[in-house]
Chain A
Amino acid sequence: MAEQAAALLFDAEAAAASRRHFWTRFAIYGVLTFFAAIYLVPLLVVVFNSFREQEEIARNGLISLPQTFRLDAWRDAWSSYCIAGTCEGMKRNFFNSLWMTIPATIISTLLGAINGYVLSKWRFKGSEVLFTCMLLGVFMPGQIALMPWAFVLGKLGLTNSTYGLILVHVIQGISFTTLFCRNYYLGIPDDLIKAARIDGAGFWRIFRKIILPLSPPILIVTVIWQFTGIWNEYLFGVVFTSGQQQPITAALVALTASGTTARAYDVMSASVLIGALPPLLIYLLGGKYFVRGLTQGAIK
């Protein structure tokens, strides 16, 4: 009897606990779903509208489930939509961004790796102070360098050119890439380097045979960071280039500003997605490294 009563009591308590547990879980997933919706709706709106017909958007509004499906907006956005008088779509600006971002990313990452190697494994008197000075570049606002850059690019004949932007991004990026690589290389034991030096390996040999093979994780983080950062950059793009030379970020602003009549949301949505896709793809493919770069870059 007593045992039975205890068991019943226990059951009631357990049932209450599991009910509480259920509602807690329900609330957790409910709140997460709510926020996920807020995060996803803008993306879905753009994706849907890039496939909807313009008349349908005009009729049913911007935020609505698609009832039509066509690819015309993507084709127009890529190759024939008019921005400020030129009707070539976004493709030229897309390639401007690509041919700016790829070289700038590779060069700044390589320089960062070598600098990081020197500043962690071949320290000399004053190298820490020099490193700190380089680090200031991470925090400098672009605005303070605008006029000097305009002058330097003018002198070099690189105004309104992708090469000019590559130069700007490489020099601005060095501080970041050096910081990332140096901090990572500090974790490689010095004994490894010492042993190699005793065996007669020199500066470059150690870099090639020991440092580089250990580098893929940090190089991936750095490349992802630099690629998304440079691709998404706007200030230098809009100041130092114009018209057909503009990277895609600047072109997007020009595109959405140019609509005086009813906005062609279908084509604009496709254009926005063309501009957003490369970094989004990189984020989805290299998510883990993206987050690692974020947290490392932030905390260190």
Chain B
Amino acid sequence: MSTQDLTIPITAPPRPWRDRIGTWAPILVLAPSLAASFVYVFLFTAWTLYLSVSNSSLLPSYDFAGLQNYVSLWSNRRWNIAYTNLFLFSGFYIVGSMAVGLLLAILIDQRVRGEAVWRTIFLYPLAVSFIVTGTVWNWLYNPVDGIQALVRSLGWSDFSFALTADRNYAIYAVIITGVWQSSGFAMALFLAGLRSVDPDLVKAAQIDGASAFRTYRKVVLPTIAPIFLAVAVIQIQFAIKTFDLVAALTRGGPGVSTTFPAIYVYDLMFQRGQIGEGAAAAVMMLAALAVVLVPYSFWVVWRRRRESGHG
């Protein structure tokens, strides 16, 4: 009897209303953001997915049309150019900016003077928009006013550098500019990685008489291998979403030679009134991202589990 009398008030105190709201507060606070994100991520994706199998043209329509948009997409020559460009660009862009970024990171890591100044110089393009970069490089590539004119005026009168004027080479102008813009990003990540390498490991290699080059190749770089993968994945993501850079640099031209998937989507949806096929192209972009990101995130989760399991 007496114990019950004592325990009841302790285990079940009358809860004031403020308290009851208090327990719901976290969920209530989260709810609007959650709802908005869910609409954005799931509803909007499903919506576009549906548009891609509808017969929408100038206006969205919700009559089911099967895979007709996908068939016409994949038989379109311009889409063919778009994804060929994407592969070409991704390859050169990733390898190029990782190579330059790694070189710069290793050089800066040699205890150079004014490290902050070097880093600031190599990273500033990232603060600036692709629109600004693209616009300025468009001028530099201009054969009449830009780099070609400069070199010719210095005396090399048949020097030719007119990438953006040539449909076979314009894609390389996009690649060069892309590498210029983002090798600083690779540098920042590599530098962070180099700084996290255990200095004892490096010292041990040096005591064993390994040259600086060998030390990097055999000891340092293997330990930062995950960073290579992270940089590559992020840059593939950038590449798939490439839109602004091309819009400002070449506008997809000359002709359609620098069309990218994102440019294609925009063009079909808003310039040509082929919403259904544009949506199909957008879905293909999403699929491409998923192909890259889903395995990668599984790998990251797996690695984390393994690490926490061991340690």
Residues of B close to A295: CB separation below 8 A: 188-189, 192
Q: Is the CB of B140 within 8 A of A232?
A: no
B50-85 interface mask toward A, CB cutoff 8 Å, 1 = contact, 0 = none? Answer: 010000000010000000000000000000000000
B29 in contact (CB, < 8 A): yes
Question: Once bound together, how far apart are the Cα atoms of A194 and B284, in whole Å?
Answer: 47
Q: Is the CB of A253 within 8 A of B131?
A: yes
Residues of A close to B60: CB separation below 8 A: 147, 151
Which residues of A from 95 to 140 have beta carbons under 8 Å from B?
A: 111, 114-115, 118-119, 122, 124, 130, 133-134, 136-137, 139-140
Q: Which residue of A144, A228, A298, A299 contacts B48 across the interface (Cβ within 8 Å)?
A: A144
Question: Once bound together, how far apart are the Cα atoms of A62 and B56, in whole Å?
Answer: 46
Q: Is the CB of B36 within 8 A of A171?
A: yes
A185-214 interface mask toward B, CB cutoff 8 Å, 1 = contact, 0 = none? Answer: 000000000000000001110000000000
Which of A5-13, A77-85, A283-291 is the interface stretch?
Answer: A283-291
Q: Which residue of B22, B138, B289 contacts A203 across the interface (Cβ within 8 Å)?
A: B22
Q: Given the known A-B contacts A62-B139, A115-B30, are A228 and B127 also in contact in the complex, defined by CB atoms under 8 Å?
A: yes
Q: Which residue of B37, B43, B125 contacts A174 across the interface (Cβ within 8 Å)?
A: B37
Residues of B close to A263: CB separation below 8 A: 139, 145
Closest 10 CB pairs of A and B: A232-B129, A283-B127, A122-B26, A203-B25, A148-B44, A143-B282, A234-B244, A62-B145, A118-B26, A143-B265
Q: Is the CB of B104 within 8 A of A32?
A: yes
A158 in contact (CB, < 8 A): no
A145-179 interface mask toward B, CB cutoff 8 Å, 1 = contact, 0 = none? Answer: 11111010000000000000000000110110010
Q: Given the known A-B contacts A39-B122, A299-B230, are A139 and B237 also in contact in the complex, defined by CB atoms under 8 Å?
A: yes
- A residues with a Cβ closer than 8 A to B are 28-29, 31-32, 35-36, 38-40, 42-43, 45-46, 61-64, 111, 114-115, 118-119, 122, 124, 130, 133-134, 136-137, 139-149, 151, 171-172, 174-175, 178, 202-204, 228, 231-235, 238-239, 249, 252-253, 256-257, 263, 265, 268, 272, 275-276, 279-280, 282-284, 287, 290-291, 294-295, 298-299
Residues of B close to A142: CB separation below 8 A: 241, 243
Q: Given the known A-B contacts A62-B149, A252-B248, are A291 and B285 also in contact in the complex, defined by CB atoms under 8 Å?
A: no
Question: Once bound together, how far apart are the Cα atoms of A124 and B34, in whole Å?
Answer: 14
B108 in contact (CB, < 8 A): yes
